[in-house]
């Protein structure tokens, strides 16, 4: 940390104590700023802790060009930030917090602890050593000429702020803190409305079918939307179908629903077998057996699988049945609501920001994390982008303060934690 008197250090408010805000705070603390992180919840990092419940997929070890492609239209914009704090840096940073990581299937990277609490504890201890103050139950309301206006249980207050970093999150799972109310702080033209991402899809099925099969998995299936195919497991819920193969298709489903009002996916119940293999297996069953028994015995299809094949065809011919197994139409009536989505699409538009994440018409106000207008599938890409943009916004705010002669030196060196 640069060595200069406390009173000469610029005051920076970071609003939002999720992974993006805490990363920005770490960079600003390392650069020698007096950092206060505020959060409206009674405790910090609630969504990060929730992500830890499923193992905390921190990033993805696939080659960088493949990883960048996961951000779709936002890839070129995010690329410099992700390259500056890439998956290897995320792993080194987690390990510097004594959280060794491992790479699981499909390149998913997890801490060995498979939860977020030890990482968050060590991170907060590091921030405390850097002099970063954390103030909970404090809602960011507005900014006004080097001041942040905040609401606390005691009433409305002002905090001195040479710079402000907003990391207020998206608008899914609002009970964890990110409620999207911050959109009112910006002109409507600067915000693309939030839509659910990584969310379930509501099948256009009779309610009775959903009720009958709620809790039933569809294992090792393939799902197609236009030219894109995804594989994995789905789960039938009380109102929607959930699962990673579906989440990856949400941008395409959303586009189709917006364009035409409907979208039909194609479900392949046995993606590892081709039509000929399936037809041959079915042909080997006894002709006197019922269709349902043949599908069960030859292909191991459960009751749900057999019901879906019955919807697709009434034909008993092995080849016709095989074709049906490989391409069951799955009509989608809509996407599950925003508050149950894992993440969001939409947020503060890129053209409202400089390339280093400062709001164009608000010098000294920086933004990072899920409140920015990007989306990505599950697989570690969400936390990767939140940490990379937090890293970028923290460094950029420190650089800006240095250019304004409010901070003796700019961005700290190194990308893997302390410098």
Ligand X SMILES: Cc1cc2nc3c(=O)[nH]c(=O)nc-3n(C[C@H](O)[C@H](O)[C@H](O)COP(=O)(O)OP(=O)(O)OC[C@H]3O[C@@H](n4cnc5c(N)ncnc54)[C@H](O)[C@@H]3O)c2cc1C
Q: Per-residue DSSP letters for 235-280?
A: EE-SS-EESHHHHTTHHHHHHHHHHHS-EEEEEES-TTS-HHHHHH
Q: Which of 9, 47, 126, 326 binds ligand X (CB under 6 A)?
A: 47
Q: Which of 165, 171, 193 has its CA nearest to residue 16?
A: 165
Candidates 41-49, 79-87, 297-305, 406-414; binding stretch for ligand X (CB under 6 A)? 41-49
| CB nearer ligand X, residue 60 or residue 267 | 60
Give yes or no for residue 38 binding ligand X (CB under 6 A): yes
| CB nearer ligand X, residue 265 or residue 348 | 348
Quickly list H helices, 291-361.
291-299, 303-312, 318-326
Looking at residue 148, the DSSP 8-state letter turns out to be E
Q: Which of 13, 31, 56, 358 binds ligand X (CB under 6 A)?
A: 56
Q: Which of 320, 389, 403, 304 has its CA nearest to residue 20?
A: 389
Looking at residue 133, the DSSP 8-state letter turns out to be E
| CB nearer ligand X, residue 267 or residue 336 | 336
Q: Which of 203, 377, 380, 394 binds ligand X (CB under 6 A)?
A: 380
Q: How far is the CB of 187 from ligand X (least distance, A)?
A: 17
Give yes or no for residue 39 binding ligand X (CB under 6 A): yes
> Chain-centre distance of CA 349, in angstroms?
17
Give yes or no for residue 377 binding ligand X (CB under 6 A): no
Q: Which of 93, 123, 143, 182 binds ligand X (CB under 6 A)?
A: 182
**Cα 19 to Cα 22: distance, rounded to the nearest angstrom:** 5
Q: Which of 26, 62, 89, 370 binds ligand X (CB under 6 A)?
A: 370
Per CB under 6 A, which of residues 159..178 are in contact with ligand X?
167-169, 173, 177-178
Give yes or no for residue 387 binding ligand X (CB under 6 A): no
Give yes or no for residue 382 binding ligand X (CB under 6 A): yes
Give yes or no for residue 139 binding ligand X (CB under 6 A): yes
Q: How far is the CB of 139 from ligand X (least distance, A)?
A: 4
Give yes or no for residue 113 binding ligand X (CB under 6 A): no
| CB nearer ligand X, residue 234 or residue 298 | 234
How many beta carbons lie within 10 A of that of residue 145, not counting itself? 6
| CB nearer ligand X, residue 21 or residue 346 | 21
Number of residues located near ligand X, criterion CB under 6 A: 36
Q: Per-residue DSSP letters for 157-207?
A: EEEE-SEEEE----SSSGGGS--SGGGGGS-GGGEEEEEEES--EEESS-H
Q: How far is the CB of 246 from ligand X (least distance, A)?
A: 15
First and final C-alpha spacing in the chain: 7
**Is the separation of the CB atoms in 182 and 39 below 8 Å?**
no
**Cα 81 to Cα 104: distance, rounded to the nearest angstrom:** 25
| CB nearer ligand X, residue 256 or residue 386 | 386
Q: How far is the CB of 51 from ligand X (least distance, A)?
A: 3
**Cα 293 to Cα 358: distance, rounded to the nearest angstrom:** 63
Would you tell me which residues interact with ligand X (CB under 6 A)? 15-21, 38-41, 46-48, 50-51, 54, 56-57, 139-140, 167-169, 173, 177-178, 182, 342-343, 369-370, 380, 382-383, 386
């Amino acid at each position: 940390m640069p060595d200069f008197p406390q009173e000469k250090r610029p005051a920076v408010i970071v609003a939002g104590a999720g992974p993006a805000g805490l990363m920005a705070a770490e960079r600003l603390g390392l650069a020698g700023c007096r950092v206060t992180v505020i959060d409206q919840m009674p405790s910090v990092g609630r969504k990060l802790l929730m992500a830890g419940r499923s193992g905390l997929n921190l990033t993805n070890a696939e080659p960088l060009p493949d990883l960048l492609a996961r951000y779709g239209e936002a890839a070129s914009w995010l690329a410099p930030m992700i390259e500056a704090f890439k998956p290897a840096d995320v792993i080194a940073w987690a390990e510097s917090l004594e959280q060794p990581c491992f790479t699981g299937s499909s390149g998913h990277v997890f801490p060995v602890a498979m939860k977020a609490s030890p990482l968050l504890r060590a991170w907060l201890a590091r921030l405390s050593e850097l002099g970063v103050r954390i103030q909970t139950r404090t809602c960011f309301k507005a900014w006004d000429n080097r001041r942040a206006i905040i609401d606390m249980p005691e009433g409305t207050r002002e905090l001195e702020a040479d710079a402000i970093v907003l990391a207020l999150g998206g608008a899914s799972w609002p009970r964890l803190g990110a409620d999207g109310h911050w959109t009112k702080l910006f002109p409507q033209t600067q915000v693309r409305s939030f839509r659910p991402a990584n969310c379930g899809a509501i099948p256009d099925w009779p309610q009775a079918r959903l009720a009958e099969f709620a809790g039933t998995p569809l294992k090792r299936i393939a799902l197609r939307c236009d030219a894109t195919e995804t594989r994995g497991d789905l789960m039938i819920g009380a109102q929607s179908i959930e699962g990673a193969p579906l989440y990856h298709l949400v941008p395409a489903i959303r586009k189709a629903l917006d364009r035409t009002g409907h979208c039909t996916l194609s479900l392949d119940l046995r993606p590892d077998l081709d039509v000929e293999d399936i037809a041959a297996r079915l042909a080997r069953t006894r002709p006197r057996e019922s269709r349902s028994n043949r599908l069960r015995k030859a292909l191991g299809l459960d009751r749900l699988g057999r019901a879906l094949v019955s919807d697709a065809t009434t034909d008993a011919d092995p080849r016709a049945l095989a074709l049906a197994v490989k391409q069951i139409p799955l009509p989608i009536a809509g996407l599950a609501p925003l508050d149950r989505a894992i993440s969001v699409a939409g947020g503060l538009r890129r053209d409202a920001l400089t390339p280093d994440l400062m709001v164009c018409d608000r010098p000294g106000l920086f933004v990072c994390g899920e409140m920015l207008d990007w989306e990505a599938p599950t697989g570690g890409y969400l936390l990767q982008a939140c940490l990379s943009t937090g890293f970028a916004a923290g460094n950029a705010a420190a650089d800006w303060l240095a250019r304004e002669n409010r901070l003796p030196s700019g961005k700290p060196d190194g990308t893997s934690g302390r410098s």
